[in-house]
A and B are shown apart, each in its own frame.
Chain A
Amino acid sequence: QQQVKQSPQSLIVQKGGIPIINCAYENTAFDYFPWYQQFPGKGPALLIAIRPDVSEKKEGRFTISFNKSAKQFSLHIMDSQPGDSATYFCAARRPGGSYIPTFGRGTSLIVHP
């Protein structure tokens, strides 16, 4: 059972483009939605995160848009650069217990120069 569905599986854009990665969740108890960036041979690194009480959060060139009623959230990368080429994972976490996030399957992003 996949609780967090991520799309697309892969994405190719030109430098300066705005790739958008989408995630949908089912469990309305989720209260924390982080995005992780993973480079080959490395572990995921926290990029940006949002809570369901806000609809948008920006950190540098990265923006999360959150739609609570649709149970969807997305990552936008402004002015994308070749160095942004990586795999991106969305995740969702519910409160209580061990506070463990559930990850999406990932999106492989390639930004061409």
Chain B
Amino acid sequence: ETGVTQSPTHLIKTRGQQVTLRCSSQSGHNTVSWYQQALGQGPQFIFQYYREEENGRGNFPPRFSGLQFPNYSSELNVNALELDDSALYLCASSEGLGLSGEKLFFGSGTQLSVL
């Protein structure tokens, strides 16, 4: 059983650029959630995908968008990067919604720095 993997581990971009982060969910998991974790803060929910459909979104602007693929891997895209987007981006997979989806399994994250 493989865990949640994210790529790349680190990324440096300049303001105004676009970035794509990738996540492979744990085997058997069909739900992926993305979180932004600023330094010294708890993870903030960005959005969730369940069986390739967006299933909830946090308080993030539309320039944060995502995809989930048939193999349940996922991408997070951020357009028009701003300095405040610098953070650790975490992907978490779970086994569906409801009780089965309570346990989140996080990847190690992508550390994004925007200069």
Which residues of A come within 8 Å of B, CB atoms? 6, 32, 34, 36, 41-46, 49, 89, 91, 93, 97-106
Contacts and interface: CB of A to CB of B under 8 A. Distances in A.
* From B42, B55, B107, residue with most partner A Cβ within 10 Å: B42
Contact of B97 (A41, A43, A99): A99
Contact of A106 (B41, B58, B92, B109): B41
A49 B55 contact: no
Contacts, number: 58
A43 B92 contact: yes
B57 to A, nearest CB: 8
Contacts of A91: 42
B98 interface: yes
Contacts of B45: 100-102
A101 B44 CA distance: 9
Q: How large is the interface on B (under 10, 10 to 19, 20 to 34, 35 or more residues)?
A: 20 to 34
Interface of B: 4, 33, 40-45, 48, 50, 55-56, 58, 90-92, 97-98, 101-109
B42 A97 contact: no
B55 A98 contact: yes
